[in-house]
Chain A
């Protein structure tokens, strides 16, 4: 019997006992469906995180600060940490009120000289008092800039231009109404006044143009505040530092360094080690979101484990179904053997039947899973998850869907081997005996 005939015969045998086959397929379907949904959940959330990563930071950028004792400000077994005059309040990624040791121009030069560092740019920390549109109310906000490679997810307009000398900024979409604009498009092109106080306690006003409106996201650039271009950053920073002695002005909580975009994980780790040796701590965007992704992956793994358990239960259904059909078709198996069909072919016939059941169950499960998953995420995107634009809760990529189908078929094959082996071993004389 050639391969094609074997498959054809197995396929027609599969539906010899329709009810039984359909029930078994249904059991497989439940497992495959669950696996598809849980996997889609992982894909969807991780894809969202990846999108967010590109918006909060370029992949070839590392944030660097001066290494310091973890317990600064607290007494530990080695006693209180010594006071450092270079320590400044940080608005970076540390808890509020904590201090970091500032980076000085010397530090920046040191950083630039470290092997693998292409470019160093100090993060200029700007604290405006308030912002105001026209004569409207004044609002508190924060300010952030874009590093090369960062993008903003825009609702309207464009990102602030890095090359322009004009003062340009983006406002988050949640500001639009408060600032008195009808909608995001109406805000584009309007002027925003920023008030900032210098070291001599004098308040200065800086006017800038709103060139775009940014979507809210869980990790938006500028932590949900204004996104400004370099020209505006420099203007605000120098205004803020009026009255500070020149050699005291350049104190930065953090700096961004750029490294080769083609760097491998090992290269990045080596660069971090060199930074550590020089007394600095480097963190990539991947580091910041790595934990988050690890947690998501772990949750998805647990969910997948449940789906696999469902599949295992279903695979016993396959074992049962095939044992029954081996039992029913004893005579037929004996006859085929008497007619010269080899044990291997008989084995193939029954295990193929299992694979077909597995394929049908998984294909239907995956198909319906994708439909339901897409349906659920589009419904949720408009309701529960409306605050997280761009999040497709359950997404599918062709590779993992194909993998699911093949995994289910493999499980089905394994389940089928037991009954198939029994059929292959059947003695034709025993099978053909009758009373």
Chain B
């Protein structure tokens, strides 16, 4: 059996201390295999965002372990951790988080800039990524002047540009109309299907969740249903 790309073992995450202590995750265990598309579904306050943050190594669990390709992520510190984030993950956010007043190209180049890729290579790769998303003609536009769908496609280009193993999409269609949202979904699933990029979508949209291979339901910090288990 191959090592799962992410293995979550009895993860707890709590905020605050004493009487103000709030347990966002109360012991969650599951594996995600490479190339899967997984939806993490739950109401707001269910702990699904916290779970995504823990999976994306933005936050360390209070207890339990998260393994990335078999490596306990609590052993990753400083530069190693930054490198793992930069090389492994791509992010797509509901609110895009594009820097408004710089060009689309600059926005897309940001992860490579952080990785220290040479400028010429950066440009070439960013253009390739934008072409893939049919956004290359907008490369020199300022991000602020794009439509919602164009913004989200730029964000996907940015997520793609470092050839990540995993793309985290946090409510990727939340700010888009149905048609544009569907379009963006198609792009994400195409990437998952054609490039084998593991897709982890955090959403409360059942339609989007239904398109995923697998759905993990979270309620009150606990995993209440995992569709793979049902299927098995």
Contacts and interface: CB of A to CB of B under 8 A. Distances in A.
Given A429-B58, A429-B59, A339 B116 contact: no
A340 B102 contact: no
Contacts of B110: 335-336, 339
Nearest to A335: B97
B125 to A, nearest CB: 15
B91 A338 contact: yes
A12 B49 CA distance: 33
A74 interface: no
Interface stretch (B3-11, B76-84, B182-190, B214-222): B76-84
Contacts of B115: 1, 340
Contacts of B93: 432
Q: Is the interface of B mostly helix, strand, loop or mixed?
A: helix
B97 A1 contact: no
B86 A339 contact: yes
Contacts of A429: 53, 58-59
A342 B83 CA distance: 9
Given A338-B85, A434-B94, A428 B58 contact: yes
Contacts of B132: none
A291 interface: no
Interface string A326-360: 00000110111111111001000000000000000
B101 interface: yes
A432 B97 contact: yes
Nearest to B87: A340
B116 A1 contact: yes
Interface in A137-170: none
B56 interface: yes
Nearest to A5: B113
Interface in B90-107: 91, 93-95, 97, 99, 101-102
A338 B56 contact: yes
B91 A340 contact: no
A1 B114 contact: yes
A5 B121 CA distance: 14
Contact of B79 (A2, A16, A342, A432): A342
B58 A338 contact: yes
Nearest to B50: A429
Nearest to B109: A5
B111 interface: yes
A253 B27 CA distance: 103
Interface string A414-434: 000000000000001100111
A426 B126 CA distance: 28
Contact of B86 (A332, A334, A340, A432): A340
Interface residues of A, number: 23
A378 B82 CA distance: 59
Nearest to A336: B114
B116 A2 contact: yes
Interface in B46-60: 49, 53, 56, 58-59
Contacts of B79: 342
Contact of A332 (B78, B99, B119): B99
A9 interface: yes
B156 to A, nearest CB: 14
B95 A340 contact: no
A339 B86 CA distance: 5
Contacts of A331: 97
A177 to B, nearest CB: 71
Nearest to A12: B102
A307 to B, nearest CB: 35
Contacts of A341: 82, 86, 114
A367 B83 CA distance: 44
27 contacts: A2-B116, A5-B116, A5-B119, A12-B102, A335-B91, A335-B110, A336-B110, A336-B114, A337-B58, A338-B85, A338-B91, A339-B89, A339-B114, A340-B81, A340-B83, A340-B85, A340-B87, A340-B111, A340-B115, A341-B82, A341-B86, A342-B78, A342-B82, A428-B58, A429-B53, A429-B59, A432-B97
Interface of A: 1-2, 5, 9, 12, 16, 331-332, 334-342, 345, 428-429, 432-434
**8 cross-chain pairs, A with B, having the tightest CB-CB distances, nearest first:** A340-B86, A340-B85, A340-B82, A341-B114, A335-B97, A428-B58, A339-B111, A2-B116
Interface of B: 49, 53, 56, 58-59, 78-79, 81-87, 89, 91, 93-95, 97, 99, 101-102, 110-111, 113-116, 119
Given A339-B91, A340-B111, A434-B94, 10 more contacts: A1-B114, A5-B116, A9-B113, A332-B97, A336-B114, A337-B58, A340-B83, A345-B114, A433-B49, A434-B95
